[in-house]
Amino acid sequence: MSAAASALDALKRELGELKDFDRIAALLAWDQQVMMPPDGAAGRADQLSTLGRLIHERSTSPELGKLLDVAEPVAAKLDPDSDDARLVKVARREFEREVKVPQDLRAAITRTCSESYPVWVEARQKSDFAAFLPYLEKTLELKRRYIECMAPETEPYDALLDEFEQGMTTAEIRPIFARLKEVLIPLVRAVGSSDAVDDAPLRRQLPVAGLREIEQRALAAAGFDPDAFRLDTTVHPFETAIGISDIRLSTRYEVEGLESLFSSVHEFGHGLYEHQIAPELDSGLLARGASLGWHESQSLLWENLIGRSRPFWQRFAPDLSEIFPDQFGSLGSAEVYALVNKVRPDFIRVEADEATYSLHVIVRFELEQEMLSGELALSDLPSAWNQRMHDYLGVEVPEDRLGVLQDVHWSQGSLGYFPTYSLGHLRASQLWQRIASELPELPEEIARGEFEALREWLRENVHRHGMKFTPAELQERVLGGPIDPEPFISRLREKLAGIYGQALIP
């Protein structure tokens, strides 16, 4: 074996073992949210803290740095888009970022997040923000220490955003979100109170057995492989990949109407992304999505552009009528399509329609920056949240369970995550423009419950690359330019005009 091959192989072995540790941590976290009895929380916090410390030690070790030093000259002679060259590039970036974070800080973040989750679960159930407040305060202080380690050149929030959307800055997001607010607030006001669509069938809880049946049929058609995927219930739906052939999805059923179906389809989009990463990348650092914004583009594409589309309900409205004859037996596909796309300003982000969804995200984006800067005292967070929900969505939040406590993210330390949801919305619409031009028969295929061509297009253009390319590089390769809100805005206006009439659309 040549010295060059030996250097790369040694680096890949080390990175492969680190990937195994990461996946073990992911499995422990999945178990905590899905299977673990509540009294296991303290022990799980210890386990995750220990594992986090070990991962940090190895991912910042001088030995790994030396392996990178030896491998980089070798990688420089390769095709810059080759797997090995990209692996070394990504590994160097992650190494340089991790060495900035002290071991005790990384362990403290991991422990605090593990301790916070069960407290958040109970606080959410009881609508008791005061119980969660000390944990949020501790999390925020740790995040401020993390930002100091990163020493961002521009705004502090950029350091948190970069964890989830590499290279994206707060300054880039603000004008995008300003444009969305400019369009969405008056649009929601115009159609949100319309009685053109009676969504009474969706304003009640449906039998869980029926919900499981409709989601199983829809996911099976979409490509859910029971040998590689599983679906469980949890408090807050999520997806995690233990490997490209071990995809864990979750949903929840204590919701109205078909929200559990859309939740499951959303998480399937995440899972399909991980499942279709090239097998040769599976054991290493590149076996994950390019960014959270790219991940959300996949989940939201499946949830909204497919799951709420007219062709989808041409296929599944008859199943809906069969499974729920009392609620949907008299409704055709056009009526179901209108129901599931009704603009209904409400409290819960994960149950929001396309028109209101990004306003939920913008509320969180703005509040996180104010929390971080100290402009907003955390004790005042519920009232600030409720005021912004009133200003942007016109709703009065009745209790913190439906307001500031609804999302799991802050209990997991994921500040900076929320903007990726809206970036994903916008990317999904940009992707759909290209997909529609290259797969002109797709609407007819979806109406027949056929998704093979779509899955293959996504695999070839997005999924197989994993993390080989930066978010901006993948954006340029696939979409030919930066994130643009206009395709989303145009598509949304056209869809709502078809449901509510053009006269109502500002």
Which amino acid, 92? R
The per-residue pLDDT for 421 is 94
Distance CA(241)–CA(408), nearest Å, equals 18
Quick check: 486 pLDDT over 80? yes
The per-residue pLDDT for 305 is 97
* Exposed/middle/buried for residue 467 (C-beta within 10 Å: 0-12, 13-18, 19+): buried
Distance CA(160)–CA(165), nearest Å, equals 9
The per-residue pLDDT for 256 is 86
Q: What digits encode the pLDDT tens for the residues 205-231?
A: 899 999 999 999 999 999 999 999 999
- Per CATH, the number for 170-504 is 1.10.1370.30
Quick check: 184 pLDDT over 80? yes
Least confident segment among 39-53, 123-137, 426-440, 454-468: 39-53
Distance CA(303)–CA(294), nearest Å, equals 14
The per-residue pLDDT for 5 is 65
The per-residue pLDDT for 395 is 96
Local confidence band at 267 (pLDDT 50, 70, 90 cut-offs): very high
420 within 8 A of 293, measured Cβ to Cβ:
yes
The residue from 165, 267, 296, 368 that is catalytic is: 267
Q: What is the DSSP-derived secondary structure letter of residue 464?
A: G
435 within 8 A of 457, measured Cβ to Cβ:
yes
Q: What CA–CA distances, in Å, run from 351 to 340, 363, 487? A: 11, 16, 22
The two structure tokens encoding residue 196? 């053109």
The per-residue pLDDT for 193 is 86
289 within 8 A of 467, measured Cβ to Cβ:
yes
Q: How many helices (H) and strands (E) does the chain have?
A: 21, 3
Higher pLDDT, 152 or 474: 474
Local confidence band at 3 (pLDDT 50, 70, 90 cut-offs): low
Quick check: 396 pLDDT over 80? yes
Q: Which residues of 202-212 are buried (b: 16+ CB within 10 A; e: fewer)?
A: beeebeeebbb
Q: Which residues of 94-109 are buried (b: 16+ CB within 10 A; e: fewer)?
A: bbebbbebeeebbbbb
The per-residue pLDDT for 146 is 95
Local confidence band at 4 (pLDDT 50, 70, 90 cut-offs): low
Distance CA(34)–CA(472), nearest Å, equals 34
- Catalytic site includes residue 98: no
The per-residue pLDDT for 150 is 92
The chain-wide mean pLDDT, for the chain, equals: 95
Q: What is the DSSP-derived secondary structure letter of residue 402?
A: G
Q: Could you tell me the residue ranges of all domains in the chain?
A: 3-151, 170-504
The per-residue pLDDT for 152 is 76
Quick check: 102 pLDDT over 60? yes
3-state secondary structure 223-275: CCCCCCEEEEECCCCCEEEEECCEEEEEECCCCCCCHHHHHHHHHHHHHHHHH
Distance CA(99)–CA(65), nearest Å, equals 10
The per-residue pLDDT for 50 is 92
Local confidence band at 276 (pLDDT 50, 70, 90 cut-offs): very high
Q: What digits encode the pLDDT tens for the residues 109-130?
A: 999 998 999 999 999 999 999 9
3-state secondary structure 429-447: HHHHHHHHHHCCCHHHHHH
The per-residue pLDDT for 376 is 97
Q: What digits encode the pLDDT tens for the residues 324-369?
A: 999 998 899 999 999 999 999 999 998 899 999 999 999 999 999 9
- Runs of H (alpha helix) within 341-485: 354-373, 381-393, 419-438, 442-447, 452-461, 471-479
- Per cent of the chain over pLDDT 90 is 91
The residue to which tokens 């030093």 are assigned: 69
The per-residue pLDDT for 2 is 59
